[in-house]
Amino acid sequence: MDFNTSWYFDKKIERTKKALEKNNYEVYVVNNVDEMKEKVLELIQDKSTVSFGGSMTLVNSGILDELRKKDIKLLDRYKEGLTGDEIANLYRETFFADYYITSSNAVTENGELVNLDGNGNRVAAMIFGPKKVIVIVGQNKLVKDLEEAYDRVRNYASPINAKRLNRRTPCCETGYCLDCNSNDRICNHYVVTYRQNVKGRGIVIIVKDELGY
């Protein structure tokens, strides 16, 4: 990324950070994935209970592997050999976790988190339950406003995730949302978080890199 492009994203990050802080979030800006992992491990106390949402940002960054080495109780939904019932129980245990780590489908320059879920367990935990929620977002997910966020979530992130999950939905054929009624639809719960009501509960880490969808 050249100097001018970096300048453009720095300005967008600056506006977003200021708005998030106004909305009661604790915000950290890091330069790369390695710095992000250091910050997450620094924030999470030993012996605590930690859960996380389904997210390619978490999977591809390697933060989950680092968490598995840490002295914590990790509610690991990707642990080999888990049954469907065991995974569902982990989703429920998440509400009592000390920390919940996830990403956001989009973050506006007004400090709003915008997410679209299939089952709703991710957005539910972001809203209520875990004592602290750590949201990791690459600069590619920062958008101007709710209109741009909606377009990004419906016509970019959702079709890509549906394709990744091998869903039989129209968007996997067209590459954009047709607001279908398919049984395989993953766009079931659209949530806009305008503000974190408990100051300090929400922590946003913005990475100056492209992460996730």
* Residue 165 vs residues 123, 157, 200: alpha-carbon distances, Å: 19, 12, 34
pLDDT in the model for residue 1: 77
**Structure confidence by residue, pLDDT tens digits, 35-74:** 999 999 999 999 999 999 999 999 999 999 999 999 999 9
Residue 35 lies in a domain: yes
Total of domains in the chain? 1
User: What CATH number does the domain containing 138 carry?
Assistant: 3.40.50.10420
CB 6: neighbour CB atoms within 10 A? 12
Instruction: Find the domain containing 47 and state its range.
Output: 3-207
Whole-number Å distance between alpha carbons of 63 and 66: 5
Residue 126 burial class via C-beta count within 10 angstroms: exposed 0-12, middle 13-18, buried 19 and up = buried
Please give the DSSP secondary-structure letter assigned to residue 193: E
Residue 45 lies in a domain: yes
Residue 181 lies in a domain: yes
Residue 213 lies in a domain: no
**Structure confidence by residue, pLDDT tens digits, 125-157:** 999 999 999 999 999 999 999 999 999 999 999
Q: Does residue 67 contact residue 99 with C-beta atoms inside 8 Å? A: no
